[in-house]
Amino acid sequence: MNQTARFAAIVLAAGRGSRFGGEAGRPFPKVLRPVLGRPMVRWVLDALRGAGIDDITLIVGFGADQVRREIGPSVRYVVQTEQKGSGHAVACAKDTFDAYRGSLVVMCGDSPLFTSETIRRIADQHVLAGAVVTLASARLDDPTGYGRIVRDSHGRIVAIVEEKCASDREKAIREVNGGIYAFDARWLFGSIDKMAINEVGEYNLTDMVRVAIEQGRTVSAIECDPSELLGVNTPDQLAEVEATLRGRRSMKMTKRKIRLEDGRYLIYFEFSEKPAFQISDCISRIDAEDGGYDYGSDTDKEADKGVRA
């Protein structure tokens, strides 16, 4: 059962992305970095909407006005004036959700590989388990750089430990935090002031797992495809993310070919899901002899470029 109709979403989009440098010498909001020609945060927004979540709040900070201009009025905006960690970013939205009694998906704007299906799964599990926190995890051969999921002898989650705060024993754990969560909104904002500041002076949203456990509340989890966890923090990661998205695009697309009475062929494409790029017609005629394209409009040319990317 798809439970996402009962959910809103918070997308963390305040980062600068300093490891990329700036655009033409100017700083640039990280979530507006192009991924296959589209701002990376749009992939996140599309995944949420594809899962049935349309009530979306962006937590913005660096380059907030640029983000607003690019994304437009289809989402709500909350400004994080100081970047003090993911927990602090979510806390900035407390007043926005003061009267809200549903559940929330919280995810990062620089994680464009999470699918609508994973978002639906985390929402369904959250409702089924009656949890106040549900998270996605994955098992990696090399977990370097990720927060580790710590479980007790019964397999229950007892903590998420960020790598920079982890002991050598904890760093050996291969199950990692995916960085996407579902929360009971009333519980989250009623308990968020119990977050502890960490060793590097930040408030991490992962600390809400500790808070929930100390209160005796239910913490649930799903396991997701490890490929979905990759965020975009460096140019190398950007290249890897784009390669993954291209692979998904080709898997969703089926090429069809019909011979016409005049000897030419009609080539068209069927998609198993709505494509993440705009296509007006996506039909082109190909001459059987020379393979020349006969487009109806410039829009179709651009659409075909997207299909063949």
Q: What is the pLDDT of residues 96-107, one digit of tens each?
A: 999 999 999 999
Q: Which residue has the tokens 């519980």?
A: 187
Q: Are 127 and 6 in contact (CB under 8 A)?
A: yes
- Say yes or no to pLDDT of 299 above 50: no
Confidence class for position 26, pLDDT limits 50, 70, 90: low
pLDDT digits (tens, 9 = 90+) for 105-128: 999 999 999 999 999 999 999 999
Domains of the chain with bracketed CATH: 4-233 (3.90.550.10), 252-307 (no CATH)
Please write the tens of the pLDDT for every residue from 47-65: 999 999 999 999 999 999 9
At residue 261, the pLDDT reads 62
- Which whole-number Å values give the CA distances from 217 to 60, 157, 165, in the listed order? 30, 12, 24
- Sequence-distant (6+) residues with CB within 8 A of 216 are none
pLDDT: which is higher, 291 or 174: 174
140: Cβ contacts below 8 Å, ≥ 6 apart:
146, 174, 176, 226, 229
Between these two residues, 131 and 285, which has the higher pLDDT value? Answer: 131
Confidence of residue 305 (pLDDT cuts 50, 70, 90): very low
Q: Which residue has the higher pLDDT, 163 or 218?
A: 218
pLDDT at 249: 75
Position 136 pLDDT exceeds 80: yes
- Confidence class for position 277, pLDDT limits 50, 70, 90: very low
- Provide the pLDDT for residue 289: 38
Please spell the DSSP secondary structure of 22-43, one letter per residue. Answer: -BTTB---GGGSEETTEEHHHH
pLDDT at 174 over 60: yes
The torsion angles phi and psi of 156, rounded to 5 degrees, stand at -85, 140
- The 8-class DSSP code of residue 77 comes to E
CA atoms of 14 and 81, how far apart (whole Å): 9
The DSSP result for 52-72, as a single string, is T---EEEEEBTBHHHHHHHHG
- Asked whether the predicted pLDDT for residue 252 surpasses 70, the reply is no
Among 223, 210, 183, which Cα is nearest to 100's? 183
pLDDT at 16: 80
